[in-house]
């Protein structure tokens, strides 16, 4: 049976609670996609650490193990090759299907399910402060973070905090809506689905 490990940008080595929230958030997200296999989530901290851990994981992986790297693109992706978009060297025997983007940042996924966002923050959440762009891949990282902070500043949960809120929101959004809204997430889903079919 194929075992899939997803090395994600997120969490922090020195914060066990954050790592736990990260694993739970991504696990819930992938479970909602109805895949035959549930990938193992490995929180790696920052983007560079995610790449480094992914490379180590590749070297240690066995024949029935498949490693994926999931990070923010940080900027608009203009190159059809995901590996040419990032500054890292592509490891040996790795293909385009090993690297995936949460578009410019993970917060773009939240824009695919604004209703879940509103339910999470409750009273005084200002949905009209969020980007109106229908293509979540076109929203810049700066706009995503700034508008989230504006939309949440008067809520009882407080201003949007990546550490305190992001993975809890991830646990609640509709993953299928994200797949429908983002070609990069659809690409990730298709990769996991194909691996599921070989399990």
State residue 16's pLDDT score: 82
* Angle ∠(127,131,137) on CA atoms, nearest 5: 130
State residue 94's pLDDT score: 95
pLDDT digits (tens, 9 = 90+) for 2-36: 899 999 999 876 678 889 999 999 999 999 999 88
Pick the residue with more confidence: 143 or 80?
Answer: 143
pTM: 0.94
**Mean pLDDT for the chain?**
93
Mean pLDDT of 164-191: 96
State residue 51's pLDDT score: 97
pLDDT digits (tens, 9 = 90+) for 76-116: 998 889 999 998 999 999 999 999 999 999 999 999 999 99
Q: Where are the domains of the chain?
A: 3-106+176-194, 108-165
Alpha helices in the chain (DSSP H): 16-31, 47-60, 82-85, 107-110, 114-121, 141-152, 162-172, 175-181, 183-197
> DSSP letter at 175?
H
Neighbours of 141 (CB within 10 A): 18
Task: Tell me how far apart the terminal alpha carbons of the chain are, to the nearest angstrom.
Answer: 5
């Amino acid at each position: 049976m194929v075992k899939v490990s997803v090395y994600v940008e997120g969490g922090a080595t020195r914060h066990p609670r954050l790592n736990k929230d990260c694993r739970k958030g991504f696990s819930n997200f992938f479970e909602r996609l109805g895949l035959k296999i549930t990938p193992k989530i490995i929180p790696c901290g920052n983007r560079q650490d995610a790449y480094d851990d992914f490379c180590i994981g590749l070297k240690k992986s066995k024949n029935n193990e498949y490693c994926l790297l999931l990070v923010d693109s940080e900027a608009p992706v203009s190159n059809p090759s995901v590996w040419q978009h990032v500054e890292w060297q592509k490891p040996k025997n790795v293909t385009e299907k090993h690297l995936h983007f949460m578009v410019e940042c993970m917060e773009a996924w939240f824009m695919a399910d604004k209703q879940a966002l509103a339910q999470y923050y409750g009273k005084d959440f200002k949905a009209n402060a969020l980007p109106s762009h229908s293509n979540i891949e076109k929203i810049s990282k700066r706009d995503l973070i700034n508008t989230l902070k504006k939309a949440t500043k008067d809520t009882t949960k407080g201003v949007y905090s990546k550490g305190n809120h992001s993975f809890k929101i991830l646990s609640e959004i509709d993953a299928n809506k994200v797949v429908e809204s983002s070609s990069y997430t659809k690409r990730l889903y298709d990769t996991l689905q194909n691996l599921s079919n070989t399990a």
